[in-house]
């Protein structure tokens, strides 16, 4: 409790990371309960109301309506759940996979398995990530699950590299050598001795990566490889609005602002957390 309070004091030192925390909490709240809070919940799915199509922003429709007559504000909030799901699932799969690969390679540093695992990692790192993700997603059926898969495939090598670096420097520490001497099993060494030392680095990277994963997901969805219509996704809302741009600018501008705000929130929060953990180490 005392440690929590001290961390909070350190975190709230910088006002800008508190702003990030506020944005992220609002986003999480809207992602979970948004469906029950929006003014027009039925507009989130397939719904047609041509009488109100293409209306400019007004007090009735905060962000205007699209060409099917659906309220854009409701659709933006409705897409938050998938945006959040994208970030959480990608990171929750790629971080443990990368961690295990990195730890096994780093623990057996210099042996054959180290070479094999890290060269495989290098192959994934050698191809620009978004290019690979676009290529993978294009081979598979275009939907949300496959775009998550495509991003996960290119995301784990970074965690492998991170935990490889930490592990190979811990490898020669005395407490690891003693644990081996008393006959500790490999899982014990990995999870009880090495994991606690990697944890703060991995967690910091996860919060910092959240924004990038969301950008990546929006980019795939913009290219038409993410969540398919009529379900809302921020990227595909922008891409479908581009064609009607000078006249009906609200089709693109408001989803774009939503992406910028969400990513900004996660980046500010991540910076705050990495500052907090960084100063604690010193």
Which residue, among 109, 65, 100, 110, has the nearest Cα to 244 in the 3D structure? 65
Under rule CB under 8 A, residue 132 binds other proteins: yes
- Residue 39 or 128 with smaller CB distance to other proteins: 128
Under rule CB under 8 A, residue 226 binds other proteins: no
Which residue, among 268, 219, 248, has the nearest Cα to 63 in the 3D structure? 248
Q: Determine the interface stretch with other proteins among 63-71, 79-87, 164-172, 239-247 (rule: CB under 8 A).
A: 239-247
Q: Write phi, then psi, for 55 (nearest 5 degrees).
A: -80, 145
Q: Identify the DSSP state of 230.
A: T
Q: Determine the interface stretch with other proteins among 72-80, 90-98, 177-185, 234-242 (rule: CB under 8 A).
A: 234-242
- Residue 190 or 253 with smaller CB distance to other proteins: 253
Under rule CB under 8 A, residue 248 binds other proteins: no
Separation between Cα atoms, residue 173 and residue 153, nearest integer Å: 32
Which residue, among 104, 120, 103, has the nearest Cα to 162 in the 3D structure? 103
Under rule CB under 8 A, residue 149 binds other proteins: no
Under rule CB under 8 A, residue 56 binds other proteins: no
Q: Count Cβ atoms within 10 A of the Cβ of residue 262 and give its class: 0-12 exposed, 13-18 middle, 19 or more buried.
A: buried
Please report the DSSP string for 102-133 in residue order.
HHHHHHTTTSHHHHHHHHHHHHHHHS-HHHHH
Under rule CB under 8 A, residue 215 binds other proteins: yes
CB atoms within 10 A of CB 200: 17
Residue 55 · residue 71 · CB < 8 Å: no
Under rule CB under 8 A, residue 128 binds other proteins: yes
Binding to other proteins by CB under 8 A, coded x per residue (else -) over 8-27, reads --------x-----------
- Choose, by CB under 8 A, the member of 21, 88, 203, 253 that binds other proteins: 253
Under rule CB under 8 A, residue 138 binds other proteins: yes
What's the Cα-to-Cα distance from 93 to each of 139, 148, 267, rounded to whole Å?
21, 10, 20
- Choose, by CB under 8 A, the member of 92, 116, 229, 242 that binds other proteins: 242
- Residue 103 or 152 with smaller CB distance to other proteins: 152
- Choose, by CB under 8 A, the member of 91, 189, 268, 273 that binds other proteins: 268
Minimum CB–partner distance for residue 254 and other proteins (Å)? 12
Residues that bind other proteins (CB under 8 A): 16, 126-135, 138-139, 211, 215, 218-219, 222-225, 235, 238, 242, 245-246, 249, 252-253, 256, 259-261, 263-264, 267-268
């Amino acid at each position: 409790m005392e440690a929590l309070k001290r961390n909070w004091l350190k975190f709230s030192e910088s006002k800008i990371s508190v702003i990030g925390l506020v944005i992220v909490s609002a986003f999480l709240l809207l992602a979970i309960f948004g469906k029950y809070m929006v003014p027009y919940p039925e507009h989130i799915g397939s719904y047609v109301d041509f009488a109100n199509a293409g209306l400019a922003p007004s007090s009735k429709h905060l962000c205007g309506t699209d060409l099917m007559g659906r309220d854009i504000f409701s659709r933006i909030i409705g897409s938050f759940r998938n945006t959040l799901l994208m970030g959480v699932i990608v990171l929750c799969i790629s971080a443990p996979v990368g961690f295990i690969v990195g730890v096994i390679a780093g623990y057996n540093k210099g042996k054959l398995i180290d070479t094999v695992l890290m060269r495989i990692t290098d192959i994934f790192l050698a191809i620009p990530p978004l290019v690979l993700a676009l290529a993978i997603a294009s081979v598979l059926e275009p939907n949300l699950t496959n775009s998550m898969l495509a991003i996960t495939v290119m995301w784990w090598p970074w965690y492998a590299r991170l935990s490889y670096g930490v592990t190979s420097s811990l490898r020669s520490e005395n407490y690891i050598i003693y644990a081996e001497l008393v006959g500790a099993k490999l899982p014990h060494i990995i999870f009880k001795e090495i994991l606690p030392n990697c944890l703060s680095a991995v967690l910091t990277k996860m919060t910092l990566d959240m924004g990038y994963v969301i950008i990546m997901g929006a980019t795939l969805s913009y290219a038409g490889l993410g969540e398919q219509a009529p379900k809302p996704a921020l990227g595909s809302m922008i891409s479908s609005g581009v064609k009607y741009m000078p006249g009906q600018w609200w089709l693109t501008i408001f989803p774009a602002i939503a992406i910028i705000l969400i990513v900004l929130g996660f980046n500010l929060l991540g910076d705050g957390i990495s500052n907090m953990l960084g100063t604690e180490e010193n």
